[in-house]
Amino acid sequence: MDWKKLWKALLFPHIAVMIILIPIATVFLVYSMVFLGTDSVIAIISYVLSAYTLTVWCFKIPYLIRFFKTFKDENKYARIWQDDTRLRVNVSLYGTLIYNTAYALLQLGMGFWHHTFWFYSLAGYYVSLAVMRFFLVRHTSKHKPGEKMLDELIQYRICGIVFLIMNLALALMIFFMVYWNRTFNHHEITTITLAAYTFTSLTLAIINTVKYRKYNSPVYSASKAISLASACVSMLTLESTMLTTFGDGTMSLTGRRILLGISGGVISVFIIAMAIYMIVKGTKKIKLLCAVKE
């Protein structure tokens, strides 16, 4: 037996095998964690299979990096996507606009159904995000970055003003979380998935906020500020969800209220500071631009 070929086949299987392993390992792992104990044979097999799947994909990372780099350089549509910043921003704004609108309508419907201001506050928050993104995407779909600088600065300042108004909805959400102990309760797997999504969204929002400053477009900066504010509030709801889902009774209700109150206060102050910064910066540049034109 050629052990070298065997180890190579095990550690570097065909890409089709690797793709098939992902859903199989995921289903077995979730099934084991939800319905089986850690001592069952199926659970142990699922853990080994998941570890093996992760290992072979990790060995494939250098190849995947080279593949996507080559694809990006040689594929016409990939080059268009990479080089056209306006296209990427528009796609992002349209996608988040649809999501925010749908989610706001869902929360509004839940508010009518349950007759609670908790869902009304969530609806108000996401409606505010949708309104800001609607005006930004309406501008970016018609004009290139920097083409209408005065209009961009006005949009930038308006977003800052909406942030201040939106903070009222955020304050209501924090009040419901702290005073009425209003929160979400999900399964552990769902909560872990939400945590991964939220941390990824926050990381990308921070990176894009810094990255898009180089384009000197107030509209682009405003769109990334919206994503950052949305990710921060998602962190707050995630914290509340994790306290409920993974709470083992060691933390008292008072402790939960203090923790959520501090976190909510920090996020609220951050959004207010960002709003004031956008209003002040936008106003100064508008005045400077008008003075230059005169």
- Hey, how many other C-beta atoms are within 10 angstroms of the C-beta on 38? 9
Contact between 266 and 167 under an 8 Å Cβ cutoff? The reply is: no
pLDDT for the residue 181: 65
pLDDT of 129: 82
Q: Which of 128, 153, 127 is nearest to 139 (CA)?
A: 153
The pLDDT of residue 37: 62
Place of tokens 């709470």: 247
CB-based contact 251:243 (threshold 8 Å): yes
pLDDT along the chain (294 residues), means of 10: 68 77 79 68 78 80 75 72 75 80 80 74 80 83 77 87 82 75 63 73 79 77 84 80 67 74 86 89 85 66
pTM: 0.68
pLDDT given for residue 230 in this prediction: 82
What is the separation, in whole angstroms, between the first and last Cα of the chain? Answer: 85
pLDDT number for residue 97: 81
